[in-house]
Structure 1
Amino acid sequence: MNARYEPENRYQAHLLRLLRDHGPRSRSELGDAVQVSRSKLAVEVDRLVELGLVEPAGLAASRGGRRSGIVRIASATRFVGVDIGATSIDVALTNGELEVLGHLSEPCDVRGGPEAVLERVFALVDKLRQVDPFPRVHGVGIGVPGPVSFREGTPVIPPIMPGWDRFPIRGVVGRRLDCPVLVDNDVNVMTLGERHAGVARSIDDLLLIKVGTGVGCGIVVGGRIYRGVSGSAGDIGHIRLDESGPTCVCGNSGCLESYFSGWALARDAEAAASSGTSPFLGRRSAETGVLTAADVGDAVTAGDPAAMAVVREGAARLGRVIAALVSFFNPGMVIIGGGVAGIGHPLLAEIRSVVYRQSLPLATENLPIVLSEPGGTMGVVGATHLISDHLLTMG
């Protein structure tokens, strides 16, 4: 494999995207897909082989004449995806077809600051090297839980990431791992993962609502992530619902996130436990000393009326925001993801009820509203898709 993952022209980039997304293909199949002459295709494929970007993979079945050679992305290709959350880090290693070869996760408080958190990322990459001693990383994609200047690769005044403002993540990671790096917010990378390997594989216009510690929205228009002018598109968690509402982490009052998010659910769970309205959460608080959104989910599963009321009220507020987005954007699918989505059907049912009731029938008559697939790799897979797309964009 050459030192850099660099196709020389748009034909080569197109061929590599096909091999990434569809796996090994014969030269005949590639010629049909890119619609170039046989001689032109041969030149470009042979050049990719010379560059070490693709490699032979046997012969295809005969079409009646000489059997066509199969090629695939070079087996030494390695991408790293990093999904930094508020309370955890996920790191995955993939091949050139974005198949996960190794995946590690550990608890980590993003409030510890960029230097400490990124050292944990590098340690996880080193652990992955022990399992798969790859010669080099060809690109790294990173998702972080806050607003990101996509052009600069830096977080910008992220509410739940003290100490990260304008920190040069892209430069620091790029120098350490000696490869290209892209940084985006965690919702966008999760959305890319769902489009590549999740429930949205055939959907070109969609919204992904991630409800975790915060709330955000990934937007796909015409098959591409929409980030807006400065990269802040989709920051729905700070849409103000009521000026006299609870104080939000951003400093304003009455934001959606202050009513329904991981930290808001934990706050409401503590109130229900201390007031005695939720015996289940009262017992859980006595056992653990601190309550989380996951405890609210457990209480809902156990049929606790107070917890169910908290979830219904919060989901209804979220549903009203989604209904407005649906009326404005008219997506082909809405996906609900993030840690709070683990509450499952009671959450989804309330959101669906509000959206289908409040949005126009033309916008919702064929609109699926679904939960993200469980498994925990959509963020890291999306991050590798982010960087591989960047490297395979020519002209």
Structure 2
Amino acid sequence: MATAPAPDTAQTLCTLLDMVRTGKATTRPELGAHTGLGRKLVAQRVADLLAHGLLEEAELAPSTGGRSARQLRFRRRAGLVLVAELGYTSIGVGLADLGGELLAHHEEPTDVVAEQPEPLLNRVEELFDGLLADLPHDAPPLWGVGIGVLGPVDAAAGCPIPLSMMAGWGGYPVRKRLAERFDVPVWVDNEVNLMALGEYRGTPGHQADDLAYVKLGSGVGAGLISGGRLSRGARGSAGEIGHVRVVDDPSAVCRCGATGCLNLYAGGSSLAAAASAAAKAGDSPALAARLEAQGRVDARDIAEEARAGDPYCVSLLNRAGKMLGRALAALANITNPSLVLVGGGVAYSGDLLLAAIREEVYRLTFPSAAHDLRIELSPLSDRAGLVGAAFMVTDELLSPARLPRWIDAGSPAGLAEIVHS
């Protein structure tokens, strides 16, 4: 029978496992070459990972002239992860494997900001129950839950940090509630942080170890990857660029209480309000037609009409892009990412918005920070947060601090307390 590794072997096990998971090394010789570990030690630790069901033997590697080595593969279907994302205007849930692949997902509109935690999390739990009920009887066990919420998060406590605009959520024990409900470890983070993590880990072709993901939803937020690690800041507030002051206008009051915030010029809610006013005033016949047909207009309507050439919508998005460019130039000068990904509903305007952002960023960013900086649309789009939540859970479970605490049991199911290690 496999036994739990001694504490001094945990780091080696996790290093080897991570290399196979990410595709950096998939054979024993490659693992030895990348880590500098001896052949015998690599063989022993790989044997441990095979015995504990975390790795499996795969096909032979292509020959390079000698005997082909046997490839190793991470057993991504050994367990399942429930994931959820609470945005401003919708909730999304999903079921993922340990490799971050969404096996099922569902999204529905909800006014998250106006909702109290109890009814909203009741609905999340109902949707989770539905996903689990649809599983076949021989499905792998549930290993954990990952959830992204609005605003800064105390990651250690697993609860949101108080915000005036999110009454009732500050300090609410999201982790404790879901852990008791599903009897597995639970991790909680800011939803945009998880989008950044999902883009970084879920789209290898776009991967950059220093990356900023910008979500243009009802408000504007950013998630930051620095040196290959998610950067949350001292109190979970890193990336709150929606409240960067981009205009010196004391009359432009943000819901946070400050003035001139980026959210007032590039957030979807503010853009929709401006579009609705323009439609009623006759400044945009195209938006007026949409308002009459739908009863409202939103950021996607603006994006679609801008792509169709509506002058008002083009002007509105150009201004939004320039304001975003100002904030992103400051971000680039401070954090120096090599890739900025833009996602969210407003980003559906595509190249028009990107052109305005790029022009302002490259104009205002310090030359060395702008060198080779790419600004692109998000490849994962609406799925990024759910994918990131899955990777958050798996990364934590397979970390040196936690792997030894559950590996002998075969899975972390029933061991919710390991999040506190």
What's the TM-score, normalizing by structure 2? 0.85
Alignment match, 1:214:
219
Alignment match, 1:54:
55
Alignment match, 1:107:
109
Alignment match, 2:285:
279
Distance 1:203 1:135, change over 3 A: closer
* 2:242/2:262 contact within 8 Å kept: yes
Aligned mates of 1:207, 1:301 — CA distance in 2: 25
* 2:84/2:91 contact within 8 Å kept: yes
* 2:20/2:74 contact within 8 Å kept: yes
Residue deviations 1:138-194, cap 9 Å, x none? 122211121211221111224553321211111111221211111111111111111
Aligned mates of 2:382, 2:284 — CA distance in 1: 30
**Structure 1 residue 94 displacement after superposition:** 2.2
Aligned mates of 1:81, 1:8 — CA distance in 2: 30
* 2:325/2:360 contact within 8 Å kept: yes
Q: Which of 223, 227, 230 is equivalent to 2:232?
A: 227
Aligned mates of 1:199, 1:210 — CA distance in 2: 20
Which residue identity does 1:127 align to in structure 2?
G
Aligned mates of 2:124, 2:34 — CA distance in 1: 38
Q: Which of 357, 366, 371 is equivalent to 2:372?
A: 366
Alignment match, 1:123:
126
Specify the SS of the correspondent of 2:188: strand
Distance 1:71 1:347, change over 3 A: closer
Distance 1:26 1:128, change over 3 A: farther
Alignment match, 2:10:
9
Aligned mates of 1:358, 1:72 — CA distance in 2: 44
Alignment of 1:79-94 (within 5 A): 79-94=81-96
Alpha-carbon RMSD: 2.8
**Structure 1 residue 67 displacement after superposition:** 6.0
Unaligned runs of 5+ in 1: none
* 2:343/2:381 contact within 8 Å kept: no
Specify the SS of the correspondent of 2:82: strand
* 2:62/2:68 contact within 8 Å kept: no
Alignment match, 2:168:
163
Aligned mates of 1:200, 1:153 — CA distance in 2: 32
Unaligned runs of 5+ in 2: 402-421
Aligned mates of 1:318, 1:248 — CA distance in 2: 16
Decide which moves more: 41-50 or 79-88.
Answer: 41-50
Matching of residue 267 in structure 1 with residue 268 in structure 2: no
* 1:100/1:381 contact within 8 Å kept: yes
Distance 1:119 1:357, change over 3 A: same
Matching of residue 250 in structure 1 with residue 256 in structure 2: yes
* 2:152/2:161 contact within 8 Å kept: yes
Which residue identity does 1:117 align to in structure 2?
L
Alignment match, 1:41:
42
Alignment match, 1:196:
201
Residue deviations 1:73-96, cap 9 Å, x none? 263222233221111122232222
Matching of residue 98 in structure 1 with residue 109 in structure 2: no
Distance 1:310 1:59, change over 3 A: closer
Decide which moves more: 287-296 or 39-48.
Answer: 39-48
Residue deviations 1:280-323, cap 9 Å, x none? 11111111212211111122122211111111112211111112
Alignment match, 2:416:
none
Aligned mates of 1:7, 1:173 — CA distance in 2: 32
* 1:12/1:44 contact within 8 Å kept: yes
Residue deviations 1:40-76, cap 9 Å, x none? 2333233333333334446656785596474532632
Decide which moves more: 152-161 or 172-181.
Answer: 152-161
Which residue identity does 1:207 align to in structure 2?
A
Alignment match, 2:388:
382
Which residue identity does 1:123 align to in structure 2?
E
Distance 1:119 1:35, change over 3 A: farther
What's the TM-score, normalizing by structure 1? 0.90
Aligned mates of 2:199, 2:170 — CA distance in 1: 28
**Structure 1 residue 201 displacement after superposition:** 4.0
Distance 1:119 1:31, change over 3 A: farther
Specify the SS of the correspondent of 2:78: coil
